[in-house]
Structure 1
Amino acid sequence: MRILAVSDLHGNIKPIITYLKDKKVDMIIIAGDITHFGPAELAEDILNEISSFQVPVLAIPGNCDPESLHINIDNSNAINLHARNMVVKNIGVCGFGGSNPTPFDTPLEFEEVQIYDEAKKALEGIKEQEITLFITHAPPYGTKTDQLPSGEHVGSKSLRKIIEELQPTLNICGHIHEASGTDKIGKTQIINPGELSKGHACLIKIPDSHGDEKIETGIIKL
């Protein structure tokens, strides 16, 4: 299975549309900030346009999306993963959108206790699957994927704790544009693809049979 994972669209989907015209993938994951502070209806248009390539699209809202975006994802042709989970073949997928509190009072922020309770519940529902993908907008605290240029770490401590406890296969996140890259927490690989609005994405290749073949991941430029 080939999965294209992106985050931080901020309303600009030209890079992914151009890519999908020439390349085939089996699933698209969108880790939040679909719009740049709305409007919420724009998210429906964006998700429907991406879904028009006849590829399943799984999405969560970001902190720069309107608070009502949960509803707009449900109204589109994409699958809303916020605080939900699902299984595709032997792959469990779950998500949690928005972010931990920021200094900017953005539309969709959650206290750490709510993140811990709701995101952990979603991940626990798929923990028995061979492969588990944990899709979050905010990155886990204290990694290369949540670090500002100043060196300060601004990710979610609750997400880090959940990953330490449940060890999903992959955590796909976004939010911190300057922290595109990968890291590890225990056995979990953390991937922040970077801004889709600037053409950044991650390609994940999961073997059909879970033998000796390893999952391949790579940050790419669309």
Structure 2
Amino acid sequence: MGEGAYWIGIGDIHDDTRAIDRLPGLAAAAGVVISGDLTVKGGAPAARAVIEAVRRHNAVILAQIGNMDKADVDSYLSGEGVNIHATGRVTPQGVGFFGCGWSTPTPFGTPSEAGEERIAAWLDAAHAAVAHCPHLVMVCHTPPYGTATDVVGGGTHVGSRAVRAFIERVQPAVCLTGHIHEARAVDAIGATTVVNPGALAGGGYARVTFDGRLLGAELLAFA
């Protein structure tokens, strides 16, 4: 089992491939994890441009659809062998990544929204794929309700109660999330570190580290 591995976590890219080229540490990372919203209401061609931009720096990608991505993005990611929405995979380093894309309903009628029960079912399916692994990273586009990672203007919490309940029950080491751009923050639910790097164009990203025994996560920024 390798020691000193790290992954770069990003989300809410929204077609801005220039920001990808400014991210530090991509080439040396064990992989790049995309929590959702590759595009702005775009389909597979727009998503392909983002994936190809990441691949110029690192060939190991785990990604999933966000609420701003059209349905064919999910099919495209599956075809590329990088999709973790409603599934998971254990890396060669022994870390289990599992994902849930889309988002709970928004006021904006974005392309890929789902109710709490469906989000909960996807999380259960994703977790089942890696439940045997003792080192877990949950990648969920919608942040858990009632944390620093789901607050919009005025202090209103708009995250998912199903996501929070899942974290409380399963306690993965790390939850990488996004969706709420203004809620760039780190918080904790029990033993789970929750990180929302915000929109990539704003300069935020996460770094998930694994020393062979323990997983950690931090929120970082680039210019």
Structure 2 length normalisation: TM-score? 0.91
Structure 2 residue 195 is matched with structure 1 residue 221: no
Structure 2 residue 97 is matched with structure 1 residue 93: yes
| Paired residues of 1:20 and 1:53 also in contact (CA < 8 A) | no
SS at match of 1:179: coil
Distance 1:53 1:148, change over 3 A: same
Gaps of 5+ in 1: none
Distance 1:145 1:50, change over 3 A: same
What is the Cα-based RMSD across aligned positions, in Å? 1.8
The one-letter code of the counterpart of 1:167 is Q
Distance 1:41 1:136 in 2: 23
Shift, 1:42, TM fit: 1.1
| Paired residues of 2:148 and 2:186 also in contact (CA < 8 A) | yes
| Paired residues of 2:35 and 2:66 also in contact (CA < 8 A) | yes
Matched length = 218
Distance 1:22 1:121 in 2: 29
Name the residue aligned to 2:134.
130
Gaps of 5+ in 2: none
| Paired residues of 2:145 and 2:157 also in contact (CA < 8 A) | yes
Name the residue aligned to 2:82.
79
1:92-145 CA-partner distances (Å, limit 9, x unpaired): 110010101111111000111111112122113323322101001110111100
| Paired residues of 1:16 and 1:199 also in contact (CA < 8 A) | no
Shift, 1:214, TM fit: 6.1
Name the residue aligned to 2:116.
112
What are the residue-to-residue correspondences of 1:19-168 with 2, within 5 Å?
19=23, 24-76=28-80, 79-88=82-91, 89-168=93-172
Q: Which of these residues, 210, 213, 223, is aligned with residue 206 of structure 1?
A: 210
Structure 1 length normalisation: TM-score? 0.91
The alignment-based identity, stated in percent, is: 30
Distance 1:143 1:23 in 2: 32
Distance 1:162 1:22, change over 3 A: closer
